[in-house]
Amino acid sequence: MKVVLPDKNIKTIDFTSVSIEQILLDLGINPLEVIVSRNGTLVSEDMIVGNDDEIQIIRIAHGG
Amino acid sequence: MKSESVRPTVPKCTFCENPAIVYRKEVNHHLCKTHFIADVELRVISNIEKKTLISDGDRIAIALSGGKDSTALLLLLYRLLPCWNDVHLIAITIDEGIAGYRVETIRSAQRLAHQFDIEHRIISFDDIYGNTLDSLLRGKESQACSICGILRKKALDKGARDVGATKLATGHNLDDEAQSALMNVLRDDLPRLVRNSSTMKSPYFIPRIKPLSDLSEKDIATYLLIQDAWTDLPECPYTHNALRREVRSMLSDLEYRYPGTMLRIMDSKRKIEHYLSGIEITEPLRHCKECGDPSSGEVCQVCLIKRSFSH
Protein backbone atom coordinates (compact mmCIF):
# COMPACT_ATOMS: atom_id res chain seq x y z
CA MET A 1 0.00 0.00 0.00
CA LYS A 2 1.32 3.41 -0.99
CA VAL A 3 0.95 6.11 1.67
CA VAL A 4 1.61 9.76 0.77
CA LEU A 5 2.68 11.48 3.97
CA PRO A 6 1.86 15.13 4.87
CA ASP A 7 5.37 16.21 3.77
CA LYS A 8 4.69 14.49 0.37
CA ASN A 9 7.19 11.72 1.07
CA ILE A 10 5.91 8.30 0.06
CA LYS A 11 5.95 5.26 2.30
CA THR A 12 5.10 1.76 1.20
CA ILE A 13 3.40 -0.44 3.78
CA ASP A 14 2.62 -4.12 3.28
CA PHE A 15 -0.87 -4.92 4.55
CA THR A 16 -3.72 -7.21 3.58
CA SER A 17 -6.20 -4.88 5.24
CA VAL A 18 -6.13 -2.35 8.02
CA SER A 19 -8.12 0.68 9.19
CA ILE A 20 -6.88 4.11 8.20
CA GLU A 21 -6.98 5.08 11.87
CA GLN A 22 -4.51 2.29 12.66
CA ILE A 23 -2.18 3.40 9.86
CA LEU A 24 -2.18 6.93 11.27
CA LEU A 25 -1.54 5.75 14.82
CA ASP A 26 1.30 3.50 13.64
CA LEU A 27 2.81 6.54 11.90
CA GLY A 28 2.51 8.56 15.12
CA ILE A 29 -0.16 10.89 13.66
CA ASN A 30 -3.21 12.03 15.65
CA PRO A 31 -6.22 11.34 13.34
CA LEU A 32 -7.81 14.62 14.46
CA GLU A 33 -4.96 16.62 12.94
CA VAL A 34 -5.20 15.25 9.40
CA ILE A 35 -7.61 14.48 6.59
CA VAL A 36 -7.18 11.27 4.63
CA SER A 37 -8.11 10.36 1.08
CA ARG A 38 -8.14 6.88 -0.45
CA ASN A 39 -7.49 6.72 -4.19
CA GLY A 40 -8.33 10.45 -4.37
CA THR A 41 -11.61 10.34 -2.41
CA LEU A 42 -12.03 11.60 1.15
CA VAL A 43 -12.82 8.75 3.57
CA SER A 44 -13.57 8.29 7.27
CA GLU A 45 -10.73 6.92 9.36
CA ASP A 46 -12.55 3.76 10.41
CA MET A 47 -12.54 2.57 6.80
CA ILE A 48 -10.61 -0.63 6.15
CA VAL A 49 -8.18 -0.31 3.26
CA GLY A 50 -6.25 -2.92 1.30
CA ASN A 51 -2.84 -3.36 -0.23
CA ASP A 52 -3.88 -2.00 -3.66
CA ASP A 53 -5.05 1.31 -2.21
CA GLU A 54 -3.22 4.61 -2.28
CA ILE A 55 -3.66 6.69 0.86
CA GLN A 56 -2.89 10.39 1.07
CA ILE A 57 -2.57 12.14 4.42
CA ILE A 58 -3.15 15.92 4.45
CA ARG A 59 -2.13 17.83 7.56
CA ILE A 60 -4.57 20.56 8.66
CA ALA A 61 -2.75 23.89 8.93
CA HIS A 62 -3.55 25.73 12.17
CA GLY A 63 -4.85 29.26 12.21
CA GLY A 64 -6.73 31.27 9.65
CA MET B 1 2.45 -3.74 11.68
CA LYS B 2 0.40 -6.93 11.60
CA SER B 3 -1.58 -8.10 8.54
CA GLU B 4 -5.23 -9.05 8.92
CA SER B 5 -7.47 -10.95 6.51
CA VAL B 6 -10.42 -8.50 6.49
CA ARG B 7 -11.66 -7.32 3.07
CA PRO B 8 -11.61 -3.56 2.40
CA THR B 9 -14.87 -1.98 3.61
CA VAL B 10 -16.42 1.45 3.15
CA PRO B 11 -18.65 2.58 6.06
CA LYS B 12 -22.04 3.92 4.93
CA CYS B 13 -23.70 7.19 5.95
CA THR B 14 -25.97 6.85 8.99
CA PHE B 15 -28.73 8.71 7.09
CA CYS B 16 -28.47 7.27 3.55
CA GLU B 17 -26.78 4.58 1.47
CA ASN B 18 -23.86 6.75 0.30
CA PRO B 19 -20.29 6.10 1.46
CA ALA B 20 -19.29 7.99 4.60
CA ILE B 21 -16.50 10.52 4.39
CA VAL B 22 -16.58 11.46 8.08
CA TYR B 23 -17.15 9.61 11.33
CA ARG B 24 -18.31 11.91 14.17
CA LYS B 25 -17.27 9.84 17.16
CA GLU B 26 -18.89 12.12 19.73
CA VAL B 27 -22.38 11.45 18.32
CA ASN B 28 -21.62 8.08 16.65
CA HIS B 29 -22.65 9.29 13.17
CA HIS B 30 -21.12 8.33 9.83
CA LEU B 31 -21.82 11.10 7.31
CA CYS B 32 -21.64 11.23 3.52
CA LYS B 33 -20.62 14.44 1.76
CA THR B 34 -24.20 15.79 1.51
CA HIS B 35 -25.13 14.98 5.09
CA PHE B 36 -21.83 16.31 6.43
CA ILE B 37 -22.38 19.68 4.72
CA ALA B 38 -25.94 19.79 6.10
CA ASP B 39 -24.68 18.82 9.57
CA VAL B 40 -22.04 21.60 9.59
CA GLU B 41 -24.52 24.24 8.43
CA LEU B 42 -27.09 23.10 11.00
CA ARG B 43 -24.53 23.31 13.82
CA VAL B 44 -23.56 26.84 12.77
CA ILE B 45 -27.13 28.11 12.52
CA SER B 46 -27.97 26.46 15.88
CA ASN B 47 -24.98 28.18 17.48
CA ILE B 48 -26.00 31.54 16.01
CA GLU B 49 -29.61 31.15 17.15
CA LYS B 50 -28.75 29.78 20.61
CA LYS B 51 -26.54 32.80 21.36
CA THR B 52 -28.50 35.34 19.26
CA LEU B 53 -25.30 36.25 17.41
CA ILE B 54 -27.01 37.79 14.36
CA SER B 55 -30.16 39.93 14.12
CA ASP B 56 -32.13 41.38 11.21
CA GLY B 57 -30.47 44.51 9.82
CA ASP B 58 -26.97 43.64 11.08
CA ARG B 59 -23.99 44.92 9.15
CA ILE B 60 -21.39 42.20 9.76
CA ALA B 61 -17.68 42.81 9.31
CA ILE B 62 -16.00 39.46 8.66
CA ALA B 63 -12.38 39.23 9.79
CA LEU B 64 -11.12 37.57 6.61
CA SER B 65 -7.49 36.54 6.82
CA GLY B 66 -7.88 34.27 3.81
CA GLY B 67 -6.94 31.18 5.86
CA LYS B 68 -9.23 28.18 6.27
CA ASP B 69 -11.34 29.34 9.23
CA SER B 70 -12.24 32.77 7.86
CA THR B 71 -12.82 31.26 4.41
CA ALA B 72 -15.32 28.83 5.93
CA LEU B 73 -16.89 31.68 7.92
CA LEU B 74 -17.45 33.73 4.78
CA LEU B 75 -18.80 30.73 2.86
CA LEU B 76 -21.19 29.74 5.67
CA LEU B 77 -22.49 33.23 6.48
CA TYR B 78 -23.01 33.91 2.78
CA ARG B 79 -25.07 30.71 2.47
CA LEU B 80 -27.04 31.38 5.64
CA LEU B 81 -27.82 35.02 4.77
CA PRO B 82 -31.41 34.17 3.69
CA CYS B 83 -32.11 33.22 7.35
CA TRP B 84 -32.24 36.95 8.26
CA ASN B 85 -33.65 40.13 6.75
CA ASP B 86 -31.38 42.83 5.44
CA VAL B 87 -28.08 41.49 6.78
CA HIS B 88 -25.02 42.82 4.97
CA LEU B 89 -21.48 41.33 4.88
CA ILE B 90 -18.21 43.26 4.53
CA ALA B 91 -14.76 41.62 4.61
CA ILE B 92 -11.85 43.13 6.55
CA THR B 93 -8.31 41.80 6.18
CA ILE B 94 -5.45 42.80 8.46
CA ASP B 95 -2.02 42.81 6.88
CA GLU B 96 0.33 42.49 9.86
CA GLY B 97 3.38 42.40 7.64
CA ILE B 98 4.59 38.81 8.12
CA ALA B 99 7.03 37.87 5.38
CA GLY B 100 6.47 34.56 3.61
CA TYR B 101 2.99 34.15 5.07
CA ARG B 102 0.56 37.02 4.77
CA VAL B 103 0.99 37.82 1.06
CA GLU B 104 -0.45 34.45 0.04
CA THR B 105 -3.39 34.59 2.46
CA ILE B 106 -4.25 38.15 1.42
CA ARG B 107 -4.35 37.02 -2.21
CA SER B 108 -6.73 34.26 -1.17
CA ALA B 109 -8.92 36.78 0.75
CA GLN B 110 -9.08 39.05 -2.29
CA ARG B 111 -10.13 36.15 -4.53
CA LEU B 112 -12.89 35.17 -2.09
CA ALA B 113 -14.28 38.67 -1.67
CA HIS B 114 -14.32 39.06 -5.45
CA GLN B 115 -15.96 35.63 -5.93
CA PHE B 116 -18.78 36.49 -3.51
CA ASP B 117 -18.97 40.12 -4.60
CA ILE B 118 -18.39 41.38 -1.06
CA GLU B 119 -16.89 44.77 -0.18
CA HIS B 120 -13.32 44.21 1.04
CA ARG B 121 -11.01 46.47 3.08
CA ILE B 122 -7.35 45.74 3.79
CA ILE B 123 -5.77 47.47 6.80
CA SER B 124 -2.05 47.18 7.43
CA PHE B 125 -0.04 47.42 10.67
CA ASP B 126 2.25 49.71 8.70
CA ASP B 127 -0.65 52.18 8.23
CA ILE B 128 -1.85 52.04 11.84
CA TYR B 129 1.32 51.43 13.84
CA GLY B 130 3.93 52.73 11.40
CA ASN B 131 5.72 49.42 10.99
CA THR B 132 5.28 45.75 10.06
CA LEU B 133 4.91 43.06 12.72
CA ASP B 134 8.20 41.51 11.58
CA SER B 135 10.02 44.79 12.33
CA LEU B 136 8.14 45.47 15.57
CA LEU B 137 8.92 42.00 16.93
CA ARG B 138 12.68 42.00 16.45
CA GLY B 139 14.12 40.60 19.68
CA LYS B 140 10.61 39.93 21.05
CA GLU B 141 9.71 36.90 18.92
CA SER B 142 8.78 34.81 21.96
CA GLN B 143 5.89 37.25 22.67
CA ALA B 144 4.75 37.30 19.03
CA CYS B 145 1.24 35.88 19.48
CA SER B 146 0.25 38.01 22.47
CA ILE B 147 1.62 41.24 20.90
CA CYS B 148 0.09 40.47 17.50
CA GLY B 149 -3.23 39.54 19.12
CA ILE B 150 -3.52 42.91 20.88
CA LEU B 151 -2.48 44.93 17.81
CA ARG B 152 -4.75 42.91 15.50
CA LYS B 153 -7.72 43.39 17.82
CA LYS B 154 -7.37 47.16 17.68
CA ALA B 155 -6.86 47.07 13.89
CA LEU B 156 -9.98 44.95 13.43
CA ASP B 157 -12.03 47.21 15.72
CA LYS B 158 -10.91 50.22 13.70
CA GLY B 159 -11.77 48.47 10.42
CA ALA B 160 -15.19 47.44 11.70
CA ARG B 161 -15.94 50.94 12.98
CA ASP B 162 -14.81 52.50 9.69
CA VAL B 163 -17.32 50.42 7.71
CA GLY B 164 -20.16 51.05 10.20
CA ALA B 165 -20.37 47.41 11.30
CA THR B 166 -22.80 46.37 14.03
CA LYS B 167 -21.01 43.01 14.57
CA LEU B 168 -17.47 41.77 14.00
CA ALA B 169 -17.40 38.07 13.05
CA THR B 170 -14.27 35.97 13.49
CA GLY B 171 -13.54 32.40 12.39
CA HIS B 172 -12.58 31.04 15.83
CA ASN B 173 -13.37 27.32 15.98
CA LEU B 174 -13.96 24.91 18.86
CA ASP B 175 -10.26 24.01 19.07
CA ASP B 176 -9.29 27.72 19.33
CA GLU B 177 -11.91 28.37 22.00
CA ALA B 178 -11.04 25.33 24.14
CA GLN B 179 -7.32 26.18 23.87
CA SER B 180 -7.98 29.78 24.96
CA ALA B 181 -10.11 28.65 27.90
CA LEU B 182 -7.42 26.25 29.09
CA MET B 183 -4.66 28.84 28.58
CA ASN B 184 -6.61 31.33 30.70
CA VAL B 185 -6.85 28.71 33.45
CA LEU B 186 -3.11 28.00 33.17
CA ARG B 187 -2.43 31.75 33.47
CA ASP B 188 -4.93 32.15 36.34
CA ASP B 189 -6.71 34.82 34.29
CA LEU B 190 -10.32 34.63 35.46
CA PRO B 191 -11.49 37.90 33.84
CA ARG B 192 -10.42 36.65 30.41
CA LEU B 193 -11.84 33.18 31.07
CA VAL B 194 -15.34 34.52 31.64
CA ARG B 195 -15.25 37.42 29.17
CA ASN B 196 -17.93 37.07 26.52
CA SER B 197 -17.27 39.57 23.76
CA SER B 198 -20.47 38.73 21.84
CA THR B 199 -22.72 40.08 24.58
CA MET B 200 -20.64 43.03 25.78
CA LYS B 201 -22.96 45.97 26.25
CA SER B 202 -20.30 48.62 25.96
CA PRO B 203 -20.66 51.63 23.68
CA TYR B 204 -16.88 51.37 23.09
CA PHE B 205 -16.83 47.96 21.43
CA ILE B 206 -18.53 46.38 18.47
CA PRO B 207 -19.77 42.95 19.63
CA ARG B 208 -17.54 40.14 18.38
CA ILE B 209 -19.30 36.99 17.26
CA LYS B 210 -17.84 33.52 16.65
CA PRO B 211 -20.38 31.58 14.58
CA LEU B 212 -18.01 28.61 14.04
CA SER B 213 -17.20 28.06 17.71
CA ASP B 214 -19.03 24.70 17.80
CA LEU B 215 -17.06 23.31 14.82
CA SER B 216 -13.72 21.57 15.20
CA GLU B 217 -10.71 22.54 13.12
CA LYS B 218 -11.09 19.22 11.32
CA ASP B 219 -14.80 19.88 10.58
CA ILE B 220 -13.83 23.17 8.95
CA ALA B 221 -10.98 21.72 6.90
CA THR B 222 -13.21 18.85 5.71
CA TYR B 223 -16.08 21.23 4.87
CA LEU B 224 -13.77 23.27 2.65
CA LEU B 225 -11.99 20.32 1.07
CA ILE B 226 -15.14 18.54 -0.11
CA GLN B 227 -16.37 21.74 -1.76
CA ASP B 228 -13.07 22.48 -3.51
CA ALA B 229 -12.71 25.59 -1.37
CA TRP B 230 -9.54 24.38 0.36
CA THR B 231 -6.35 26.29 -0.34
CA ASP B 232 -3.16 24.85 1.06
CA LEU B 233 -1.66 27.94 2.70
CA PRO B 234 1.39 28.26 4.94
CA GLU B 235 1.09 28.46 8.74
CA CYS B 236 2.07 31.64 10.53
CA PRO B 237 5.83 31.36 11.26
CA TYR B 238 5.35 32.75 14.78
CA THR B 239 3.04 29.95 15.99
CA HIS B 240 6.14 27.92 16.87
CA ASN B 241 6.86 30.28 19.76
CA ALA B 242 3.53 30.13 21.50
CA LEU B 243 2.22 28.40 24.62
CA ARG B 244 -0.82 27.73 22.47
CA ARG B 245 1.17 25.21 20.44
CA GLU B 246 1.73 23.02 23.51
CA VAL B 247 -1.86 23.40 24.70
CA ARG B 248 -3.14 22.57 21.20
CA SER B 249 -1.12 19.38 21.03
CA MET B 250 -2.20 18.28 24.52
CA LEU B 251 -5.89 19.04 23.89
CA SER B 252 -5.86 17.34 20.52
CA ASP B 253 -4.46 14.21 22.12
CA LEU B 254 -7.09 14.33 24.91
CA GLU B 255 -9.90 14.93 22.39
CA TYR B 256 -8.83 11.87 20.41
CA ARG B 257 -8.68 9.62 23.48
CA TYR B 258 -11.74 11.12 25.19
CA PRO B 259 -14.08 12.44 22.44
CA GLY B 260 -16.05 15.51 23.54
CA THR B 261 -13.27 16.90 25.77
CA MET B 262 -13.28 20.31 24.04
CA LEU B 263 -17.06 20.64 24.20
CA ARG B 264 -16.95 19.77 27.92
CA ILE B 265 -14.28 22.45 28.51
CA MET B 266 -16.57 25.01 26.84
CA ASP B 267 -19.54 23.78 28.91
CA SER B 268 -17.48 24.28 32.07
CA LYS B 269 -16.52 27.78 30.94
CA ARG B 270 -20.21 28.63 30.39
CA LYS B 271 -21.08 27.31 33.86
CA ILE B 272 -18.36 29.47 35.43
CA GLU B 273 -19.66 32.47 33.43
CA HIS B 274 -23.15 31.74 34.73
CA TYR B 275 -22.07 31.43 38.38
CA LEU B 276 -20.14 34.68 38.14
CA SER B 277 -22.77 36.66 36.23
CA GLY B 278 -23.53 39.94 37.96
CA ILE B 279 -20.24 39.89 39.87
CA GLU B 280 -17.79 42.60 38.82
CA ILE B 281 -14.43 40.87 38.38
CA THR B 282 -12.81 43.28 35.94
CA GLU B 283 -11.73 46.89 36.33
CA PRO B 284 -14.39 49.30 35.02
CA LEU B 285 -13.59 50.72 31.59
CA ARG B 286 -11.97 54.14 31.39
CA HIS B 287 -10.08 56.02 28.69
CA CYS B 288 -6.38 55.37 28.04
CA LYS B 289 -4.48 58.48 29.12
CA GLU B 290 -2.25 58.22 26.05
CA CYS B 291 -4.56 57.44 23.12
CA GLY B 292 -8.03 57.95 24.62
CA ASP B 293 -9.27 54.51 23.60
CA PRO B 294 -11.25 52.43 26.12
CA SER B 295 -8.99 50.62 28.56
CA SER B 296 -9.23 48.66 31.80
CA GLY B 297 -6.04 50.31 33.07
CA GLU B 298 -4.67 53.85 33.00
CA VAL B 299 -2.83 53.01 29.79
CA CYS B 300 -4.26 50.58 27.22
CA GLN B 301 -2.38 47.46 26.15
CA VAL B 302 -1.63 48.84 22.69
CA CYS B 303 0.06 51.93 24.18
CA LEU B 304 1.97 49.71 26.63
CA ILE B 305 3.27 47.70 23.67
CA LYS B 306 4.21 50.89 21.81
CA ARG B 307 6.14 52.04 24.90
CA SER B 308 8.04 48.76 25.01
CA PHE B 309 9.01 49.22 21.34
CA SER B 310 10.38 52.68 21.97
CA HIS B 311 12.59 51.21 24.73
Q: Which CATH superfamily is domain B51-279 in?
A: HUPs (3.40.50.620)
Distance CA B123, CA B93 (A): 6
What residues pair up with B294 in beta bridges, in sequence order?
B287
**Which of A20, A26, A42 is the best mutation test for B, with the most CBs of B within 10 A?**
A42
3-state secondary structure B176-189: HHHHHHHHHHHCCC
**Contact list, B30 vs chain A (CB under 8 Å):** 44
How many Cβ atoms sit within 10 Å of the Cβ of residue B286? 12
Instruction: Using a cut of 0.80, tell me whether the model's pTM lies above it.
Output: yes
Query: Where do the H-state alpha helices sit in A1-64?
Result: 20-26
Q: Tell me the pLDDT tens digit for each residue of B15-55.
A: 999 999 999 988 899 999 999 999 999 999 999 999 999 99
Distance CA B306, CA B311 (A): 9
Å between A57 CA and nearest CA of chain B: 13
Domain definitions of chain B by residue range: 10-39, 51-279, 280-311
Q: Tell me the pLDDT tens digit for each residue of B216-248.
A: 999 999 999 999 888 878 788 887 666 888 999
Distance CA B8, CA B197 (A): 48
How close are the terminal C-alpha atoms of chain B, in Å? Answer: 57
**Contact list, B171 vs chain A (CB under 8 Å):** 64
Rounded mean pLDDT of B187-210?
81
Distance CA B308, CA B125 (A): 17
**Contact list, B3 vs chain A (CB under 8 Å):** 14-18
pLDDT value at A63 more than 80:
no
Closest residue in chain B to residue A51, using alpha carbons only: B8
CB B295 within 8 A of CB B304: no
How close are the terminal C-alpha atoms of chain A, in Å? Answer: 33
Among A17, A23, A58, the residue with its CB nearest the CB of B7 is: A17
